[in-house]
Amino acid sequence: MTQKILTSKEWVLLNSNREPMVIQNRGFTPVEIGVSTDENSPPSAGFLVKFMESFAYPGGEYVWARSNSESIIVVDKLPLPTSQ
């Protein structure tokens, strides 16, 4: 399980190895976070979250973030560790 921790300036993702990965967010707009196994195809559904909430989500190969306008914001298609 990957634990997602939010701060006022950035999304901090801790993968299963407790290594931080950062997704920048433009302000306090709610953002949808999802995971996908295809780097060219964002997930069709994710989690609508706001700052100062933390949660865990099912593992996937890539992490995506979307704003309310459905446009993908700063996402570097971060690969998550796969369970062997």
Q: What is the pTM of this model?
A: 0.31
Tokens 């939010």 appear where?
6
Q: What are 41's strand-pairing partners? A: none
Beta bridge partners of 21: 13
**What pLDDT, on a 0 to 100 scale, did the predictor assign at position 38?**
65
DSSP state of 80: P
- pLDDT per position as a tens digit, 3-52: 444 443 444 444 444 444 444 444 444 455 666 666 566 555 444 443 32
Yes or no: say if 62 and 40 are a contact pair by the CB < 8 Å rule: no
